[in-house]
């Protein structure tokens, strides 16, 4: 399932 999570982690 496509997770359009913004990459806010390092």
Partner 1 sequence: MNIFRLTGDLSHLLAILILLWKIWKTRSCSGISGRSQILFATVYTARYLDLFTNFVSVYNSVMKIIFIAAAFATLYLIYVKFKATYDRNHDTFRIEFLLAPCALLALILNHEFTILEVLWTFSIYLESVAILPQLFLVSKTGEAETITSHYLFALGSYRALYLLNWIYRYYFEGFFDLIAIVAGIVQTVLYCDFFYLYITRVIKGRALKLPA
CA distance 5 to 8: 8
Minimum gap (Å) between residue 5 Cβ and partner 1: 6
Minimum gap (Å) between residue 9 Cβ and partner 1: 7
Binding track, positions 1-10, relative to partner 1; x by CB under 8 A = -xxxxxxxxx
Cα 1 to chain centroid distance, Å, stands at: 12
DSSP the chain: ----------
Minimum gap (Å) between residue 2 Cβ and partner 1: 6
Interface ranges with partner 1 (CB under 8 A): 2-10
């Amino acid at each position: 399932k496509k997770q359009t999570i913004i990459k806010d982690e390092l």
